[in-house]
Structure 1
Amino acid sequence: MRDWGRVPYNREDMMNRMIVSNLVHRPLRSVISIVAIAIEVTLILLIVGLSVGMLNDSRKRTAGIGADVMVQPPNASALSTFSTASVPIKVAGALEKLPHVIAAVPVVMSTNTSGSIEVIYGIDLTAGSPYNFDNTGRPFRYIAGGPFQGPNDMLVDDYFASDKHVKVGDQLELFNHKFRVSGIVENGKGARKFLPISTLQNLMGVEGKASMFYLRLDNPANADLVVQEIKNTPGLETYTARSLQAFLSMMTVEKLPGFSNFIKVVVGIAMIIGFIVIFQSMYTAVMERTREIGILKSLGANKVYIVRLILRETLTLAVCGIALGIGFSYAARLGIRAKFPLMTVQMTAPWIGYATLIAVVGAMMGAIYPAVKAAQKDPIDALAYE
């Protein structure tokens, strides 16, 4: 009798035909397994894509401010920009006196959690003011309207205006107050909504305070010199100063506190889902095919052949599920973009590769025990199985 694990003649072709036959013969089980793996891949790509997309969007808008150095309260972290204003605004005068500093622009930042989480900037746009936000180096480009005309005016960027169908002159509610949209600006300069700095200070109860300062220098190459100068200046040495490039380098998945752990949790949950579904599916399949396995072993199929048969069947399911999951993810990204233009889903080739690898590993791990169990079945007992 031929040993199927050693004789190559038609062995691969026969195995492939058996795999296709088994999957087609049990369509419901196959479809459920494929869809479960697709959900696993979609979960990874969408959640990671949303997280990375929002992070990169924030990073891009911060870079668009045009400043060279940012100064925050003492011991501030990369996320401290979302805290309340605590820095005396008069610090701007001391910063302006430092070598290479052309402008020191104060900004008040407040987090609005009504409806969605967003950061609101309080800025000065008074013509001729040393605190004018346009002094950061990249002035606003107005799509419609213009700067604030009064304390109850606000600016919004063109993405927000398009998403919410907002026009100049419309009334928007923010912090339980009504504000008139005085202008729509091109996106990419910090926040998506801007209020007069004095208005936001009054609403927050932080008159005369700022959240941070953006410094524009005579030459961006002097950023590190200015940061060191701030650390060496009495009265300023406790403040946290970073070049904008250093700050932007911190806004990555690897360096942002807690972000990488969040990604690991998402990936872990997705892998567990794939493992459980494949384990249940293949274990059930092995139990259903006890007699079939007995026939194969009685014809000379060894343990390696049986294990390979189960694992290749699992790999086929995984490949189909991965392809479907990637398709689901791209379709969902288009749907999210159409429904929520402000939300960015970023799917990159590396993460598609990671999701594929995670799905395959999870599926194979789930199939190992059923495969080994099938290989260990006694052919006599299997043939007698009803």
Structure 2
Amino acid sequence: MNKIVLGNLLHRPLRTLIGIFAVAVEVVMILSIVGIFIGQVEHSREETSGIGADLIVRPSSSSFISGMAGAPVPAKISQVLAKLPHVAVATPVIQDFSLGSSPEIIWGIDYDTFNALKPFVFAAGGPFQGPNDLIVDDVFAHTDKGYQVGETIQVKNHPFRICGIVEHGRGGRKFLPIHTLGTLLGNPDNASQFYIRSDNVANQEKIRQEILDTPGLSQYRVQTLAEVLSQMTPEHLPGFNPALRSVIGIAVIVGFIVVFQTMYTAVMERTREIGILKSLGASRAYIANVVLREAALISVLGIILGIGLTYVLKIGLSYKFPTLPFPVSLVWRANAAGIAFAGAILGALYPALKAARKDPIDALAYE
């Protein structure tokens, strides 16, 4: 039977390659959108964990997504927060989502208080020396362009001098003085949110209550780091699951239709062959099994090709956008393979049943 299956596929190589490529496209679509979306979320979790804060204070209407746009609240609130009992450090931060050469989040920080949360580890250079200085992390600095301290780069269409290169994992890849970024956004004295380090992690609930009891701050949203990280999941990312389901649905439809067309055409072309097999005693199960095995082999080859093309895509994106996280996890490789395989088998099911039901006399008489 395996010889028959292989011979049938090699007899029409172009049609077989189209089926394999369709399954491969299905796998690439699934893995690419999952990799990019989940990569962004996981990267945000890792970077947020490395800031050194215990609590985050935001305007009541903001979330970890909306908090990355603009500077809606006065930065001087950090001075009020710093005076509260059990607060060791309070620092204002601006997070601005920018669409330049690649999507990125620009951070505006008050260097002294932000560094007090958890000191920067400099690989080269040092802190801000002026309003047009920029600190970058080592991941950004070690891209193909190889940035060095003293070089000038464009951020939000303005030139900035790299004054320091720090170890990655402190929230972002580019840091500007908070007043400078606020000025570029039209709010020089504002912030997006505030990070707090407590004198003792056991006092987090006390600090939360102290903030909410402070006049003017009762409407602010106070979350522990653990609470914020628990929200940084695909389930809490607006539109993630619908987008993922839509892409998977489109991918399955593409794979289903192409495999269905491939196997249906193959069955119609091999009507006399099916008649000969049946006249020699082949059962309906045997005929259906041949068709389904062909679809399964096309699916397996397409899955292998799709995973390989995904890694090619990952390499290409890494070259074009070096700071873009794009994980291809084992779990999602298995999920994509299972989805593609199931879609291919379903696409071949009707042609297989049609082949199995053919009358041997009519099949032999078919021209």
Could you tell me which amino acid in structure 1 is paired with residue 258 of structure 2? V
1:83 pairs, out of 48, 52, 69, with 69
SS at match of 1:254: helix
SS at match of 2:235: coil
Aligned: 1:52 with 2:33: no
Cα distance in 2, alignment partners of residues 100 and 224 from structure 1: 10
Offset of 1:223 from its aligned partner? 2.7
Offset of 1:230 from its aligned partner? 2.8
1:214 pairs, out of 195, 198, 215, with 195
Of all paired residues, the percent bearing the same amino acid is 52
SS at match of 2:328: coil
Could you tell me which amino acid in structure 2 is paired with residue 161 of structure 1? A
Q: Deviations over 1:65-109 (max 9, x none)?
A: 110100011221221221211112222133223332111100122
| Matched-pair contact (CA < 8 Å) for 2:102–2:321 | no
Offset of 1:232 from its aligned partner? 4.0
2:21 pairs, out of 35, 42, 48, with 35
Offset of 1:358 from its aligned partner? 0.5
In the superposition, relative to structure 1, how do residues 142 and 271 fare at CA in structure 2: closer, same or farther (>3 Å)? same
| Matched-pair contact (CA < 8 Å) for 1:75–1:238 | no
Could you tell me which amino acid in structure 2 is paired with residue 149 of structure 1? Q
Offset of 1:301 from its aligned partner? 2.6
Determine the structure 2 residue equivalent to 1:149.
129
Cα distance in 1, alignment partners of residues 203 and 365 from structure 2: 84
Structure 1, gaps ≥5 residues long: 1-14, 127-131
In the superposition, relative to structure 1, how do residues 329 and 175 fare at CA in structure 2: closer, same or farther (>3 Å)? closer
Q: Deviations over 1:185-219 (max 9, x none)?
A: 11111111111111112221213211100000112
| Matched-pair contact (CA < 8 Å) for 1:78–1:256 | no
Cα distance in 2, alignment partners of residues 228 and 33 from structure 1: 61
Offset of 1:271 from its aligned partner? 1.0
| Matched-pair contact (CA < 8 Å) for 2:97–2:103 | yes
Offset of 1:383 from its aligned partner? 0.8
2:55 pairs, out of 66, 69, 78, with 69
Offset of 1:285 from its aligned partner? 0.5
TM-score under structure 1 length normalisation: 0.90
TM-score under structure 2 length normalisation: 0.94
Cα distance in 2, alignment partners of residues 343 and 110 from structure 1: 17
1:140 pairs, out of 120, 139, 145, with 120
Determine the structure 2 residue equivalent to 1:277.
258
1:290 pairs, out of 233, 253, 271, with 271
Could you tell me which amino acid in structure 1 is paired with residue 106 of structure 2? I
Matches within 5 A, 1:343-358: 343-358=324-339
Structure 2, gaps ≥5 residues long: none
| Matched-pair contact (CA < 8 Å) for 1:40–1:325 | yes
1:321 pairs, out of 292, 298, 302, with 302
Aligned: 1:244 with 2:225: yes
Could you tell me which amino acid in structure 1 is paired with residue 217 of structure 2? L
Offset of 1:234 from its aligned partner? 3.6
Could you tell me which amino acid in structure 2 is paired with residue 162 of structure 1? H
More displaced 10-residue stretch of structure 1: 211-220 or 263-272: 263-272
Offset of 1:380 from its aligned partner? 1.7
Moved over 3 A (4+): 231-234, 334-340
Determine the structure 2 residue equivalent to 1:342.
323
Cα distance in 2, alignment partners of residues 337 and 116 from structure 1: 11
Cα distance in 2, alignment partners of residues 106 and 286 from structure 1: 68
Offset of 1:355 from its aligned partner? 0.5
Aligned: 1:22 with 2:3: no
Could you tell me which amino acid in structure 2 is paired with residue 25 of structure 1? H
